[in-house]
A and B are shown apart, each in its own frame.
Chain A
Amino acid sequence: MKQIHFNEVVPSFLYDSADYESEVWGNSFVLNKGESHLVSAFSGRGKTTFLSLIFGARKDFRGTILLDNQDTKGLGLNDWSGLRQDKVSMLFQNLRLFEELTVKENFLLKTQLSKDFHLDQAEQWLADLDLKDVLNRRCNTLSQGQQQRVAIVRSLLQRFDWLLLDEPFSHLDKENQQRVFRLVEKRVAEEQAGWIVSSLGDKHGYTFQREIAL
């Protein structure tokens, strides 16, 4: 999936408001694979919505979104499942980990499906993010920051053309933020993928190729 086209997309929460100034909503633009993007805005401007529309988790919008040349409105449930298996991966703001399950079981739910990566790979990446000996711990026994890093690793455990990270640093200190950047950069380079990070405005000391203000 090389390109993502937005054509005059307006999400449902803006149907009733006449004037909004945004580089995204109501405008047309293209995102290219292989580039890093930062989407920044204050709370409530629709950062999560923007990523969810690309991911197919929300479908309430006007206008068209094309993934390459495919209109997302023409995609069925199974098409989306296929895309999520090896084209688009997403880190959710609320992480969406299975709290009752162990870290290992959470990873297995991903690796059993796509089979491109193994647990020892995940364990290595956890170590890269300064997390050790957590594989057999249940997620609800981990701190927010630890859970966030587990969720990041899970989102990297598949092939992808696009990586969508929704506020990935909210619970991380500066050092860990840098570790995440290094790991993500490495994985994105391996996959030759594009990535989009949403943020409240902070660039976290990283230089993105493209910055979009919502």
Chain B
Amino acid sequence: MKRWQRILVLVSSFVGLLLIWISLALYFDISKALNETERLFGDQYLVLNKRVSVFGALGMGRSGFSIEEIKSVEDLKGVTDVGEFVSNRFRANAIADFGDMGPLLKTELFFESVPDRFLDTKPAGWKWRPTDPDVPIIVPSDYLALYNFGFAPGQDLPQISESVAKMSAFKISIETPTGPQIFNARIGGFSDRINTILAPLSFLEYANEQFGLGQREAPQRIIVASDDISALEKLMGEKGYETSEEKMQMGKEKLIAQRILSIGLILGFFIVILSLGSFLQMTDLLIARSDQEIRTLGYLGYTYSQLSKKIFTQIIRVIAISFLLAFLGGIVLRWKLSAFLAVLVGEQNVIPSSLAIVILFAILLSYAALVYWNILRQTKRMLA
């Protein structure tokens, strides 16, 4: 094999691998920054409502979504799923009774429900039945943060972890013409995705049926799962729908990050496949040029697999060097760019996620396996 061929192959596989490697590492960084549940390449969830009008404020005609309006959102490009919010149509209170230990706390309460497939957390007992001992409730994570970082320090109260908060039990009192109906309730989980107090759909349907006042109304809010929010954004502007600006912005940033990473990954794979091609060609050449030597070794009694191993160990060096260089290059690059990365995705380890390393090694193994298979095939053909 000529020196410049070896260097060319080495450089091309190095560049391809480096691209894949840093894209992979960045992908896992960003995924982590976006928190465990909101996956980078997963759907973005947005809660939509109509702009509250003056008439609505005066109680004249509520601003619900009609069936046609929901359908038009469902049909948008990039929208993968739409779910309706169900609200309580009864008056309810939450009661925390500490007995002799403290005061009786009582507050008015509302609930909403969405279909289970939109939840980012599903507490135990979420499939509620009337015979169940208690009703699990999902509370926004923000509420706990508000208490821990806003309320508790000022009142000299201890901070509460999620698991402690989940132990707190309270009662739900629903007003009915025949007096209050009491249900045991507990905090079952915290949601980053949906900023409301969620009860199981089965509970809300049951309670609305039993104690509800008035007719079922068009949903006030809908939740939309989308992998590309550009079409949705346009429709929202036309129809005057609203959503959390922050989430909308995050959705756009996610989209840009997705695009950049996708291009990096695709380009990287493309270059790796090209370099794999030249690798295979290089081994073909090497074997073709060593035709006489390989035949002679075959006549001396070497098996084709023994010969293939000998040839492979020569070539694996080039593969190993390019992988090692790409691996180290990626880490050095992360180290050099760590300040920049910190702004983008928060403080990160210099060594990327172990999953990224596993994937890089999987590529290395399949790469080497393909080259070995080609050598085996060529050697076998030569000795036949």
Contacts and interface: CB of A to CB of B under 8 A. Distances in A.
Interface of A: 55, 57, 77-78, 81-82, 84-86, 90, 92, 96, 98, 109-110, 113-114, 158
B302 interface: yes
Nearest to A81: B303
A110 B296 contact: no
Nearest to B292: A96
A81 to B, nearest CB: 4
B383 A113 contact: no
B380 A84 contact: no
Contacts of B304: 77-78, 81
Given A77-B380, A77-B383, A98 B293 contact: yes
B299 A77 contact: no
A110 B384 CA distance: 21
Nearest to B298: A81
B299 A109 contact: no
A130 B321 CA distance: 48
Contacts of B158: none
Given A77-B380, A77-B383, A77-B384, A113 B296 contact: no
B301 A81 contact: yes
A209 B302 CA distance: 32
A113 B299 contact: no
A77 B303 contact: yes
Interface size, B (range): 10 to 19
Chain A's interface: helix, strand, loop or mixed, by majority? Answer: helix
Given A77-B380, A77-B383, A77-B384, A98 B302 contact: no
Contact of B299 (A78, A82, A92, A98): A92
Given A77-B380, A77-B383, A77-B384, A109 B303 contact: no
B384 A109 contact: no
Contacts, number: 36
Nearest to A87: B301
Contact of B301 (A84, A92, A96, A98): A84
A90 B292 CA distance: 16
B296 A98 contact: yes
Q: Which of B299, B301, B384 has the most CB of A within 10 A?
A: B301
B300 interface: yes
A158 B292 CA distance: 21
B302 A81 contact: yes
Interface in B316-358: none
B291 to A, nearest CB: 12
B17 to A, nearest CB: 34
A85 B383 CA distance: 15
A57 B384 CA distance: 9
B360 to A, nearest CB: 35
Contacts of A84: 298-301
B380 A113 contact: no
Contacts of B300: 84, 109-110, 113
18 contacts: A57-B299, A77-B303, A77-B304, A77-B383, A81-B301, A81-B303, A84-B300, A90-B299, A92-B299, A96-B292, A96-B296, A96-B299, A98-B293, A109-B297, A110-B300, A113-B300, A113-B301, A114-B301
B306 to A, nearest CB: 8
Contacts of A57: 299
Q: Which of A82, A86, A96, A158 has the most CB of B within 10 A?
A: A96
Contacts of A85: 301
Q: Which 7 A-B pairs have the closest CB atoms?
A: A85-B301, A84-B301, A81-B303, A96-B296, A78-B303, A113-B301, A77-B383
